[in-house]
Amino acid sequence: MNRNIKTDSIILRSRRIGELHKGLSCLTRSNGIIDAIAYGAGKGKSKLSGLVDPFSLLHLYLYFDPVKDSYKISDIEQKMIFPNIRLKLGKFYIASFWAELILKSFSGGGESGRVYPLLAQSLSILNKAEKGDQNLILIQFIWRYLGISGFQADIENCSECGKSFIDTETVLFDERDNEIVCSNCRTKMDMLQFTTGSLKYLRYTSTLALDKSMKIGLDNKSVDTLKHILFVMVQGIVEYPLNTLKKGLMYHN
Ligand SMILES: [Zn+2]
């Protein structure tokens, strides 16, 4: 085993260990999620202390200590910081939600090579986004993350009868089976209904590069509908309720 790892990384969570140290959960480009200890980072004077806040893009130098059976951070190079995410509460909630979703659902393996750039680019867009665009990057992140995780529902055809949604007026989300169905295949009265714009938007933007997708607008009603449906979808792929969704803060910004 290689004891020294150098990798691009985004800190998803940082917690204090005693007075002096910090424990970090990092999404790395090459090694999935790694838990590591930044010794001395709890002290103001340490070189590491200002660098271990969540959501910055970093280059990490990690050393695996076989005696303690844990990774230690030996050095950090800061690559990009996103000051607006720390300053603006609405942006901070979104980034915290992304971090929690990844921590609770990431299954490792080859996925990190795709999740890392998605998160890095989404944070960069979120940092710069006008208030109205924050929801769009939120929606894009969730939909693409579901795609990488293999949980993206079919948005072309009804999952039950195969009918194309292009000539269907009513399109519904079946929460129980994480499927999208037509009105003929409705199983309950209170199913969430897609607006025409929301489904078209997903279909059109999902093949675009992330930054290009941000140029496509969406009406407010469709934004709200998509957020609600996508929150239900992601809640379905994690075992426990997501804390960042529990408080309802994400629904109203
Ligand atoms: Zn159907």
Distance 179 CA to ligand 1 centre (A): 11
The pLDDT tens digits for 30-76 are 889 999 999 988 887 777 877 888 999 999 999 998 888 899 999 99
Distance 205 CA to ligand 1 centre (A): 24
The pLDDT tens digits for 119-177 are 999 999 999 999 889 999 999 999 999 999 989 999 999 999 999 998 778 999 998 88
Considering the domain 83-251 in this protein, what is its CATH number? 1.20.1440.120
Three-state secondary structure of the chain: CCCEEEEEEEEEEEEEECCCEEEEEEEECCCCEEEEEECCCCCCCCCCHHHCCCCCEEEEEEEEECCCCEEEEEEEEEEECCHHHHHCHHHHHHHHHHHHHHHHHCCCHHHHHHHHHHHHHHHHHHHHCCHHHHHHHHHHHHHHHHHHHCCCCCCCECCCCCCEHHHCCCEEEECCCCEEEEHHHCCCCCCEECCHHHHHHHHHHCCCCHHHHCCCCCCHHHHHHHHHHHHHHHHCCCCCCCHHHHCCHHHCC
Q: What residue ranges do the domains of the chain occupy?
A: 4-80, 83-251
What pTM was computed for the model? 0.93
What is the per-residue pLDDT for 28? 94
Distance 166 CA to ligand 1 centre (A): 12
pLDDT > 90 fraction of the chain, expressed in percent and rounded = 73
| Range 186-198 average pLDDT | 91
| Range 104-126 average pLDDT | 90
Distance 38 CA to ligand 1 centre (A): 53
Domain 4-80: give its CATH architecture: Beta Barrel (2.40)
The pLDDT tens digits for 83-92 are 999 999 999 9
